[in-house]
Amino acid sequence: MLLVLCCVTNKKILIVEDNEDCRELQAVVIRRLGYEVIETDNGAAAVAEALAKKPDLIIMDLSLPQMNGEEAIVQLKTLPTTREIPIIICTAYDAGPRVNRAIVAGAAEILHKPFKFSDLENLLRKHIRSDHKNGAEAGNQNSPSNPKTTS
């Protein structure tokens, strides 16, 4: 099998997903795009990993053990060293209270499962910048108060 990297980069992406198969699939796709991947399976570990490794972007499920995705987003957006990191929620939930709370907490986008790999790739390219600035400062049209959903 020939593996071609389309964009080798030093950017790090933290994947937070408790379903091992889903997490590994995301990791394979993201690595093939040339990004470094950090993986964890719960919200508490996500906060710790983000503080320790300072990823350029976080992809997070909402239903997580130890600390759910909404709680993790609140913590990450409160901490000065992680508040500017874009967080993409990857969930099977349709729009509703859980998704809305994640948006209010500061999620940049919602990626609905199942998703197309091209949608994931487009979101990564859109939100990973040379700096961690999010929102209007980085030219992002979808601020946390008005995130875009992708399905």
Read off the pTM.
Answer: 0.81
Q: ω before 147 within 30° of 0 (cis)?
A: no
Q: Which two three-digit tokens encode residue 89?
A: 């929620």
pLDDT by 10s per residue, the chain, length 151: 334 445 557 899 999 999 999 999 999 999 999 999 999 999 999 999 999 999 999 999 999 999 999 999 999 999 999 999 999 999 988 878 888 999 999 999 999 999 999 999 999 999 996 444 443 333 333 433 345 555 5
Domains of the chain: 12-150 (3.40.50.2300)
Give the integer Cα–Cα distance in Å for 132 and 86: 8
To 5 degrees, how large is the angle CA 20–CA 76–CA 67? 45
Report the relative pairing of strands 36-40 and 87-91 from DSSP bridges: unpaired
- Which phi and psi angles does 93 have, rounded to 5°? -70, 140
Stretch (H or E) spanning 15: strand 12-16
